[in-house]
Amino acid sequence: MVEEITKGANAKDPGAKDPGAKPEATIDEMTAEARAHLLQAFRRILRPLVKLLIRAGVRFDEFCETVKGVYVESAVRDGLGPLGKGTRSRIAFVTGIPRRDVDRYIDDPSLLAGPRATDSKTITEILHVWHTDPNYQAPYGVPIALDFQRERGRSFTELVRRANPGSDPVAVLDELLRAGVVTGSVDQLVRVRSRAYVVPEALSAPMLEHMGTTLANLASTIEFNIASDNDEKRLERSVIADRGLPEEVIPRFDAFVRGLVKEMMVEIDDWLGDLAKNEPHVLQGPNRMDTGLTVFHYVRSQKPLPLIRDLIGKD
């Protein structure tokens, strides 16, 4: 079953009446029901994330402090909905956060500053250019082997500098070697083996940065589609196996979708490369936006969860 959350030609006319329909709920009842679903949605979203936090030894008070900062930042940047732009006092009142904490997060930017970015984005751009730019390709589009560094001409160092002048080519090469994406060394030719960069270490900085970026992008898309009152919604579709699949069939389904998605992703990457090659002027415009496509395969058990009182250990 293909599922798409959108408004459009299939949406019911709000003015039409269904003779067999139940009386409409009041606004207060609808708000209460929607609020319950919203909180339940966040509970479900937080479960796997809190699981990671507990494994990493992050305490509840640390998490609360992080959420407190998110509340203040969101209230300042995005406003307070119908109440409009927030003041310090109004933000404290609406969010329930003490005024002293609101002042603290607003007046001390270091509290909301993130860690240093990893080289993941740089690596992604390097692989894209290496596979789509004719300057880095042999006949038939095969990526060429590169010297690590040359005074003139194409080199791995020059490719890194093109993607991000601030990145250290040695550190980028080490990460690509660790991930098995390239072979070679600073003293040998560097050859690319894969078009995809998969972070090798669990709970590493690049992996956690990727998790944050991916979840933030997905949540931003869903929030945009929920808040949008027109048909210009962003792509958000799911293919759902009706009533699920037997566990032994999951590997077959996984192999099938991996093959299709790999082809699709290469096509999209090639399209972006052709755009840069054939229409470079269109990429020089202002107001640049990060954009892309993320696809993921989810698997969730249908077994009902036991009560936590039946799982807890004895002190």
Query: Confidence class of residue 59 from pLDDT cuts 50, 70 and 90?
Result: very high
Which of 133, 160, 192 is at the close of a domain? 192
- Residue 146 pLDDT > 90: yes
Tell me the β-bridge partners of 143: 137
Boundary residue ending a domain (159, 192, 225): 192
Q: Is residue 7 part of a domain?
A: no
Structure tokens at 11: 């949406």
> For residues 56 and 203, is the Cβ–Cβ distance under 8 A?
yes
Q: How far apart are CA 252 and CA 296, in angstroms?
A: 16
Token pair of 87 as six digits: 């003041």
Q: Within a domain: residue 265?
A: yes
pTM of this prediction? 0.77
Report how far Cα 84 is from the mean position of its chain's Cα atoms. 28
Domain final position from 161, 192, 223: 192
Give the structural domain span for 259. 240-301
pLDDT at 11: 38
Tell me the average pLDDT across 179-198.
Answer: 92
Tally of domains within the chain: 2
Nearest to 276 by CA among 163, 176, 168: 163
| Residue 269 covered by a domain | yes
Query: How high is the pLDDT of residue 26?
Result: 44
Task: Specify the DSSP element, H or E, that contains 237.
Answer: strand 237-239
Q: Is 199 inside a domain boundary?
A: no
Summarize pLDDT for 231-269 with one digit per residue, the tens.
788 998 899 999 899 999 999 999 999 999 999 999 999
CB 145 within 8 A of CB 190: yes
d(CA 114, CA 158): 28
Q: Which amino acid is at 106?
A: I
Is 160 within 8 Å of 172 (Cβ atoms)?
Answer: yes
Query: For residue 143, is it within any domain?
Result: yes
On whether residue 99 sits in a domain, the answer given is no
Answer whether residue 181 is part of any domain: yes
Clarify whether residues 128 and 186 are in a common domain: yes
- Looking at residue 313, what is its pLDDT? 75
Can you spell out the DSSP letters for 155-214? -HHHHHHHH-TTS-HHHHHHHHHHTTSEE--TTS-BEE--S-----STT-HHHHHHHHHH
Distances (CA, A) of 78 to 22, 74, 81, 150, 187: 37, 5, 8, 48, 51
Query: In the predicted model, what is the mean pLDDT of the chain?
Result: 87
Residue 254 lies in a domain: yes
Candidates 60, 53, 168, 49; CA nearest to 116 is 168
Alpha helix (H) residue ranges in the chain: 27-55, 60-78, 88-95, 99-107, 120-132, 156-163, 169-178, 205-227, 250-278
